[in-house]
A and B are shown apart, each in its own frame.
Chain A
Amino acid sequence: MHRKRFAMTTVSLTVNGHLQTHPVESRTLLVEFLRDHCRLTGTHVGCDTSQCGCCTVIVNGDSIKACTVLAVQLDGAHVTTVEGLAQGDLHPVQKAFTQCHALQCGFCTPGMIMASVDLIAKNPNPSKEEIAQGLEGNLCRCTGYLNIVDAVHEAAQLMRAGSHA
């Protein structure tokens, strides 16, 4: 009558440079692994259909929505979350977000920032059109996106200037 319990699997991921090994139900999503097992709550859940992008993180160099993948699928992977971005100093994308007033409530911000980091990594000199296109998978209800696009543009500029120095 009662459903049988879901099988438990031990999953190891390198999250922000630290090895995280936890036994989890096989239905555990990456975002649940990060939030509930690693206690990294900077990665947010804003929907249940993989539309909002609040849970965007970087896995093995690509930004993904952490609600679209099971933790067990990623055993051994390297994950960067918003908490792992600032290395002493703020990351240029973080800096640009605050300087351009690209956040209000801040709930979509971690996902926006992670999607932007990946966008700039793959296109160091994006046009505003390309930025808007690149952020199509991330929803924000407060800012109207104008300052977010400006911030990513600004961050790319900062990063290009930084790499020439």
Chain B
Amino acid sequence: MNTTTVGSELYADTNFSRAEDLKLILGQGHFTADQSYPGELHLFVIRSQYPHARITRMDLSQVESAPGVKWVMTAKDIEAHGGKDLPSAPPVMTTSGKPQELNKMPVLAREWVRFVGQPIAFVVAQTYHQAQDAAELAQIEFEEHAACQNADAAKLPGATPLHASAPGNVSADFQSGDLAAVEAQFAQAQHVSHLTVRSQRLFGVPMEPRAVVAFHDPATQRTRLHTPSQGLLSMQAYLAQCSGVPESEVDIVTNDVGGSFGLRTGAYSEHVGVVIAARVLGQAVKWVGTRSEVFLSDWHARALTLNGSIALDAEGHILAIRFEDRVDVGAYNCYMSSFIWSRNLSVTMGGVYRVPALYMHSEMVYSNTTPTSAYRGAGRPDIAYAIERLMDFACHEHGLDPIATRRKNFIPVADFPYKTANGTGYDLCDFDQVMTLALKLADHGHYAERKAAASRAGKVRGLGVSTYVEASGAGTAQMDQVSGQMSAQGVLTIVGVTGPSGQGHQTSFAKIVHTELGMLEKDIRYGSAKTGTALQGNGTGGSRSLYGAGSAIKNMCVQLKAQLTVLLAAHWACQPDAVKFQNGAWVAEAATLTQPLTQPLSTTEVLALLTPTERAGLQATGEAKSGSTFPNGCHVVEIEIDPETGETAIVNYTAVDELGRVISPHLVRGQVHGGVVQGLGQAFMEQVIYDEQGQLITGSFMDYAMPRAGDLKALNNATVELGTELNLLGAKGVGESGCTGSLPALANAMMDALRPFGVDRMDMPFTPEKVWRVLHSKA
């Protein structure tokens, strides 16, 4: 299989509409903050205003006696009710051979606070305003300590250590690849280049601020917890770990989720506070974060420096790539950070190239900042950015053509399956085909003319190319399972583990069933599994829902098809093996029938033929084991800078992504749009800034710039569909590829534009001010 779908053709597919949309456009969506219980109490969080301090005295008596206050909770209360620290990924094996010593975040600060925004106490009152007003009466005394506002500051000699177990603030160091082999290649290289890039700290910014509502039923001793999640089972398991409340006593309910991007896998401090308060007080408790609060307390993203080196021979063949990374984990080890900053960063560190020797060494460093964890791409956009910037930089330093040099170094199709020098196995990719198509769609052949025209108009034009490959999520569950149950009315309800937050699970999964089983999409429902399910599987994350759960759905369809075949054979009075489902219709070999069929039946007609009891008996559990896939692509970008203002316009953006089998072209395109614009945000405007004292100074949308309508005016998008045998569907993940491909393409375009002005490196974000200064500092 080797087909290409060009973006513009997708627009011809009219009357598109997702099943998810109707309630959302009517304002009938049900997000967590929309959930209310009569008499519900409200929780307010007292947070640290200091980046690094010891709490010397805490007097909350006036808070407790304020109007409406029901309970003021401190770390002691959390512990008394079974609460534990917040979860972390397993420790990394460090280069010294010892496992990383984790410093997990307490639900509420005990003696120390280590970042601004760290929760210290919860105030539960009858109204939100009462809780907020009461919190102002807290008398807490702090002994301030010097703070490290980022990983670089934390590594300076004499920097104050955050944790006793990490005297130099290094939480762990990690290595991958073969250092000796890399050094040998560098020793014999004709060309060597070094480039340090930063992937600056970001906020993930799902538009729905984090929220949690809990209702406890004393009669059943069960707690119902409403919260946005990426799948109920992982939220449940993490909540049980840190709240001490057994999974069997909590039902988690997630209705609509206003974006997740990796931030909503597990429970935060507020989840623990709300669930314990609801159980102890026997009343519903609600916490809805303000944007300012979630900027302080949602796990932050990126925050690392990658120091890259590349060795090339005289003809421009890559001999070795080496990275030394410094990653800011923030004040504590939370959730996915140890995994992202080891496995995810290194797994595709050779990119799309045949590289004989690879080595990465990463240092994870504590600082007095909000902990970092997963955000769209989780390490892969960072490493793709570093490799592709390094490639362009080396080509320019040594007089090589970046496009021809890329082509020369691509892993050739004949070499797949390919094992990288640090042990990652890619199944099948065709990077040459992908780049060739991207350059064609971008009309690369006429770029020089467009550049000349821009120059005549007084604009500075630049061209950037990136070729990326990423490893989508391998998953943590052993397999993905779904259960399908037909109703007597002929509606198929599928339950799986992955929970949607805008991706369109319902729409794509229904399309898979339609394709495999011939049922109409309107008769198919998808829901995320609830507590007590026997199903196992992965939540949303790592771009794997479509092919992970989707493959299980395909397997479920095979079983349902077999059941339908038997039932239909009985109705037709023939042997089951005479019944066939082909081209979306059910037929039987004519010779086997007593009465010939007038025409083949659709699945809807077959279901209508069955009795209600027969329909309701159709049930199957589908399962599939799917590991990582290797989505890849080429993004080609042209930018124009207005030298008067330093503002950059993206004037030509082409994204060609190789995603295996495309199930829902509209949704794929939507994922690419969203990912590319998140990348654009990082490249041009977004950055979380702490001042030297460790105070967050980008604490609201007033200070944290976000991409807006019109920042990207058009996107020329195409997909190449190479098969993959890594999962039953033959699909690869698309959720994060837009971020991964866009960062390096945008940055390479910016450097191409600025190179004539004597600049060969610049840290993101490329703000107008930074660009203007470069253009106007030329002598």
The residues of A with any CB-CB pair to B shorter than 8 Å are 1-3, 5-6, 25, 27, 35, 40-49, 51-52, 54, 81-83, 85-86, 90, 94, 97-101, 103-110, 113, 128-129, 131-133, 135-136, 138-149
Contact = CB atoms under 8 A, between A and B. Distances in A.
A36 to B, nearest CB: 8
A25 B205 CA distance: 31
Contacts of B673: 143-147
A136 B291 contact: no
Contacts of B14: 99
Given A129-B710, A135-B709, A142 B700 contact: no
Contacts of A101: 16, 18, 666-667, 669-670
Contacts of A141: 205-207, 259, 261, 674, 678, 706
B129 A25 contact: yes
B208 A105 contact: yes
A99 B713 contact: no
Contacts of A98: 17-18, 21-22, 25
A145 B291 contact: no
Given A49-B701, A106-B29, A139-B701, A145 B209 contact: no
Given A46-B209, A48-B292, A139-B207, A144 B676 contact: yes
B713 A132 contact: yes
Contact of A99 (B15, B257, B292, B701): B15
- B interface secondary structure, majority: loop
Interface in B647-702: 666-667, 669-670, 673-678, 700-702
A113 B25 contact: yes
A81 B28 CA distance: 12
Nearest to A105: B502
Contacts of A147: 670, 673
Given A1-B62, A132-B710, A144-B715, 13 more contacts: A6-B129, A44-B207, A45-B288, A46-B209, A46-B291, A51-B700, A98-B18, A101-B670, A109-B24, A138-B709, A139-B701, A143-B670, A144-B677
Nearest to A104: B502
A117 to B, nearest CB: 12
A145 B712 contact: yes
B256 interface: yes
Interface of B: 14-18, 20-22, 24-31, 33-34, 62, 66-67, 129, 133, 205-209, 256-259, 261, 288, 290-292, 501-504, 666-667, 669-670, 673-678, 700-702, 706-715, 738
B28 A83 contact: yes
Contacts of A46: 207-209, 258, 291
B291 A49 contact: yes
A109 B501 CA distance: 14
B258 A105 contact: yes
Contacts of A54: 207
B259 A105 contact: yes
A105 B18 contact: no
B258 A83 contact: no
A44 B666 contact: no
A107 to B, nearest CB: 3
Looking at B29, B673, B709, the one whose CB has the most chain A CB atoms below 10 A away is B709
Contacts of B738: 144
Contact of A105 (B256, B707, B714): B256
A149 B714 CA distance: 10
26 contacts: A3-B133, A27-B129, A41-B27, A41-B31, A43-B27, A51-B701, A85-B27, A98-B18, A103-B21, A104-B503, A106-B21, A106-B502, A109-B24, A131-B709, A132-B708, A135-B710, A136-B710, A138-B709, A139-B207, A139-B706, A141-B207, A142-B207, A144-B678, A145-B712, A146-B715, A148-B709
A53 to B, nearest CB: 10
- Interface pairs A-B: 7 shortest CB-CB: A42-B27, A132-B710, A107-B258, A105-B502, A106-B24, A144-B677, A51-B701
B207 A143 contact: no
Given A107-B207, A142-B259, A41 B710 contact: no
Contacts of B713: 128, 132, 146
